Amino acid sequence: MNTSTTATSTQHDTATMTAAIQRHYSGPEEIHVDTMAVPQPGTGEVLLEVHAAGVDRGVWHLATGHPFVMRFIGFGLRHPKQPIMGTDVAGVVTAIGAGVTRLAVGDEVFGTADGSFASFALAKEDRLASKPAEVSMADAGAMPVSAVAALQAVEDAANVRAGQRVLVLGASGGVGSFAVQIAVAAGAHVTGVASAAKATLVTKMGAERVIDYRTTDVTALGETFDVIIDAGSLTPLRRLRRILSPTGTLVIVGGEGGGFLIGGAGRALVAPLVSLFTKQRLRGLMSATSAARLRRVAALVESGAVRAAISHRYPLDQASEAVTDLAQGRIAGKAVVTVRARVS
């Protein structure tokens, strides 16, 4: 294995690749394709030949530098520390760094990488897992960030059980579409909140009912839920608590909108503090991808309980349009950037 790895690494030493980059904070319309050197894997890293990369809200945040607090926690104060966009990835291992023991050259994997909108990307071994054999690269590339966040929300934070009444806000989005499926797989009765135009997708994911947020205020219906997974709404905490059962669980995943400094993360920060004074369990979730969680996602996929709901595919040179469409709410479920021309 060492001989093969050394040869593969040497092959890329002076090679170049195409990548969708943005060297300064701005709108996603500034993302463009450029030529860069192929990176080399360091300790604990592998080099991937990228086949597909999912598009999630995190890409928009990295491109715009909003909210401002993210610049102080390692993403770059004046400009993106990593100019290559993208985190989700599915591809083939082409080289391995020192200390890598679980993966080998030729393995098909999915997970998160450091700049995945490119022909090649570096990824830490502990953030990758084997791609489910029956799943396409495109489907696998759409899963990591959103599916892991949904998994943490539904299984870890809320511990959803059979028979519970679960409400998913933002049910037609990336995290929401996976949350609906994982909750249904647990035996819950799921109600999704989404626009009427995206209701069909939410129903296909297994929701028993879909509420159109544009015509109906779910917090004014007079009914309660055992679990609420808020995957992208801006509903005030006090209103969500009104429709949560007295001992129910609310999980706020990420945070959109809000002010310049902390964006929409305010509710997620306040929720645990309020939870100290009530029997309701109120949690803010900051998701973290790991090999163990990816393997759990893979198991759900292989069982037939979960799938990626891909509605849009973009070639690498249209990565800018992909992120813009996501930010404008034009995508239902997931979108992927297909880096290899023959990705299925």
How high is the pLDDT of residue 28? 84
Longest dimension (CA), the chain: 67
CA distances from 126 to 9, 43, 107, 176, 288 (A): 20, 12, 14, 25, 11
Contacts of 29 (CB under 8 A, 6+ apart): 320, 324
**Three-class SS of residue 39?**
coil
Q: Where are the alpha helices (DSSP H) in 228-331?
A: 237-242, 266-275, 291-302, 319-327
Residue (of 256, 249, 245) closest to 271 by Cα position: 249
Tokens 């028979």: give the residue. Answer: 163
User: Which residues are 335's β-sheet partners?
Assistant: 55, 312
Residues 284, 152, 180, 279, Cα dihedral to 10°: -50
CATH level 3 topology of 146-285: Rossmann fold (3.40.50)
Residue (of 249, 214, 232, 238) closest to 326 by Cα position: 232
pTM of the model: 0.89
Contact 90, 109 (CB under 8 A): yes
Q: In angstroms, how far is CA 6 from the centroid of its own chain?
A: 33
CA distances from 320 to 64, 75, 186 (A): 12, 20, 37
In this structure, what are the phi and psi dihedrals at residue 128, rounded to the nearest 5 degrees? -130, 155
Q: What is the CATH number of domain 2-143+308-338?
A: 3.90.180.10
* Rounded Cα gap, residues 274 and 265, in angstroms: 15
Contacts of 333 (CB under 8 A, 6+ apart): 172, 173, 174, 177, 201, 308, 309, 310, 311
Neighbours of 204 (CB within 10 A): 14
Contact 95, 8 (CB under 8 A): yes
How high is the pLDDT of residue 245? 98
From first to last of its 344 residues, the chain has per-residue pLDDT tens of 333 344 344 455 559 999 999 988 777 889 999 999 999 999 999 999 999 999 998 887 777 665 445 555 556 556 677 789 999 999 999 999 999 999 999 999 999 998 999 999 999 999 999 999 999 999 999 999 999 999 999 999 999 999 999 999 999 999 999 999 999 999 999 999 999 999 999 999 999 999 999 999 999 999 999 999 999 878 889 999 999 999 999 999 976 555 554 455 667 778 778 888 999 999 988 888 999 999 999 999 999 999 999 999 999 999 999 999 998 999 999 999 999 855 55
Q: Where are the domains positioned within the chain?
A: 2-143+308-338, 146-285
How high is the pLDDT of residue 8? 43
